[in-house]
Amino acid sequence: IYGSRFSLFVGCVVVAGALVVGIIVGLLAGFFGGWFDTLVMRVMDIILAFPSLLLALALVAILGPSLTNAMIAIAIVQQPHYVRLTRAAVMAEKQRDYVTAARVVGASPLRLMVVTILPNSLSPLIV
Round to whole Å and give the CA distance between 89 and 53. 28
Given a cut of 90, whether residue 35 has pLDDT beyond it is yes
Q: How far is CA 113 from the centre of its chain?
A: 14
Q: How confident is the model at residue 87 (pLDDT cuts 50, 70, 90)?
A: very high
Average of per-residue pLDDT across 95-108:
90
The pLDDT assigned to 80 comes to 93
| For the chain, percent of residues with pLDDT exceeding 90 | 46
Over the chain, what is the mean pLDDT? 90
The DSSP call for residue 3 is: T
Given a cut of 90, whether residue 21 has pLDDT beyond it is yes
Geometric angle at alpha carbon 33, from 42 and 44, rounded to 5°? 20
The DSSP call for residue 33 is: -
| HSE, side-chain direction, 13 A CA sphere, residue 54 | 5
Q: Classify the C-alpha dihedral 48-75-9-86 as positive or negative.
A: negative
Cβ neighbours for 111, distance < 8 A, ≥ 6 positions apart: 102
